[in-house]
Amino acid sequence: MDLKEKLISSFWAFENHLDEDSYLHPIRTDAIKRFEEKGFPSKKEEAWKYTSLNSVLKHDFSVFPKQENAIEYNDVKKYFIHDIDTYKIVFIDGKYSSHLSQTTHDGMDICLMSSALSKPKYRILIENYFNKIAEQESLTSLNTAFSSEGAYIHIPKNKMVAKPIQIIHFSTGNESAIMLQPRNLIVVDENSHVQIIERHQSLTDNQVLTNSVSEVFVNKRAIVDYYKIQNDNLNASLIDNTYIKQKQESICSVHTFSFGGKLTRNNLNFSQQGERINSTLKGVTIIGDKQHVDHNTLVHHVEPNCESHQDYKGIFGDSATGVFNGKIIVDKIAQKTNAFQSNKNILVSDKATINTKPQLEIFADDVKCSHGCTVGQLDESAMFYLRSRGIPEKEAKALLMYAFSNNVLNSVKIPEIKQRINKIIANKLGVNIGFDL
């Protein structure tokens, strides 16, 4: 039985236990039908031309966590941003870990999707927001069909959430191969501000495939800063589908730091529904070995006077492959849009490749849109300059790579995240630069 069949039959076995009158039942059954019809995406589809899931899908994944596994905090502390106080929503093999988590219902809800889906008091919010902006494409549909657990965050209006929220998914390797389908719903109401850090971490070399879906609603004048730290081990793959809907005068930024993992696909969709919205999408990718990272972004400008800024930097070594596919749509009425997109790449090996493709669909006539992509090597004259000052080759290379990704790191607002990323980069490059950028 291949994975698709296994998922579909497992779904029905699971769904038949549920109350058929539940609000979610038709949503889930519709979703599994869409997945059944479409199947996993293949390279024949334009959006998946350069990313093949074949090598990932061949494993015999268990699709439901069988048991609750425990982890000691001290063993996984290093995966947390632990030097500052944060809320934590932690999952182990897809199950919520109350032991590692720190949630709240005090004036806001920072808790679990499973309780939000089952408790009547959340019903209205779920009906208003759940699965409202997630696309109908196959992987997101698959997640919808299986959605039972994840983070549920609702920040009511006029709230500054003082502590960042960490969402961390651990996999313990108790199964030889596991597929996880976390589902997050984040609703930030008028004039509120929240910072979110998301991480997926496998604790062994066993196979992990995560198909994650997050829906983020950034309501009027709200501010959301979202950081995704992707530094998983080489047998873990991640398909991250993040859908963001912004209302007027809201500000939302997503920083994606991709250093680890076997295959990582980031589908990041922004829909701007209101005027004077600001969206920022930034990423640093540093990979080697046979790693693959694919950034697939979409920014849809629907109304006038909005901005979007995309800045993705990639450094590819060994036989690593990268993809950047950035689409910007500016609707006819979205005049005075200011949309900027940049994707710059350095190949440090002859075998590394990057496929980069900007796609601009502009239907308004009074807009400022720019895009640019570059692929190059480390600048030889810069290398000689640094080395002539006594900086050895390896350190000089690292310094140039740091410098290359610096402007993305600069816009990270939580210093501890910046330090953590710097440390990961230094480890990755095998150097100690001796200062933080």
Partner 1 sequence: MLKINNLHASVEDKSILKGINLEINPGEVHAIMGPNGSGKSTLASVIAGKEDYEVTQGNITFEGNDIDELAAEERAHKGIFLSFQYPVEIPGVSVTNFMKTAINETRKAKGLEDMPAKDMLKLIREKAELLEIDRKFLSRSLNEGFSGGEKKRNEIFQMAMLEPKLAILDETDSGLDIDALRIVANGVNKLKSKDNAVLVITHYQRLLDYIVPDFVHVLYNGKIVKSGTKELAHELEEKGYDWIKEEVNA
Distance from C-alpha of 399 to C-alpha of 94, rounded to nearest angstrom? 39
Distance from C-alpha of 235 to C-alpha of 384, rounded to nearest angstrom? 37
Q: Does residue 404 bind partner 1 (CB under 8 A)?
A: yes
Least Å distance between CB 431 and partner 1? 10
Q: Does residue 362 bind partner 1 (CB under 8 A)?
A: no
**Binding characters for partner 1, 405-424, by CB under 8 A (x = yes):** xxx-----------------
Distance from C-alpha of 322 to C-alpha of 285, rounded to nearest angstrom? 9
In this structure, the number of other CB atoms found within 10 A of the CB of residue 283 comes to: 25
Distance from C-alpha of 416 to C-alpha of 356, rounded to nearest angstrom? 31
Q: Which of 20, 46, 366, 380 forms a contact with partner 1 (CB under 8 A)?
A: 380
Q: Which of 223, 224, 286, 399 forms a contact with partner 1 (CB under 8 A)?
A: 399
With 0-12 CB in 10 A as exposed, 13-18 as middle and 19+ as buried, what is 207?
buried
Q: Does residue 391 bind partner 1 (CB under 8 A)?
A: yes
Least Å distance between CB 195 and partner 1? 24
Q: Does residue 390 bind partner 1 (CB under 8 A)?
A: yes
Least Å distance between CB 283 and partner 1? 16
Q: Does residue 378 bind partner 1 (CB under 8 A)?
A: no
Q: Which of 396, 412, 421, 429 forms a contact with partner 1 (CB under 8 A)?
A: 396
Least Å distance between CB 338 and partner 1? 23
Q: Which of 297, 344, 402, 425 forms a contact with partner 1 (CB under 8 A)?
A: 402
Question: Which CB sits closer to partner 1, 158 or 410?
Answer: 410
Distance from C-alpha of 418 to C-alpha of 436, rounded to nearest angstrom? 9
In this structure, the number of other CB atoms found within 10 A of the CB of residue 361 comes to: 10
Distance from C-alpha of 424 to C-alpha of 402, rounded to nearest angstrom? 11
Distance from C-alpha of 243 to C-alpha of 188, rounded to nearest angstrom? 14
Q: Does residue 248 bind partner 1 (CB under 8 A)?
A: no
Distance from C-alpha of 409 to C-alpha of 391, rounded to nearest angstrom? 23
Interacting residue ranges for partner 1, rule: CB under 8 A:
379-382, 384-393, 395-396, 399-400, 402-407, 433-435, 437
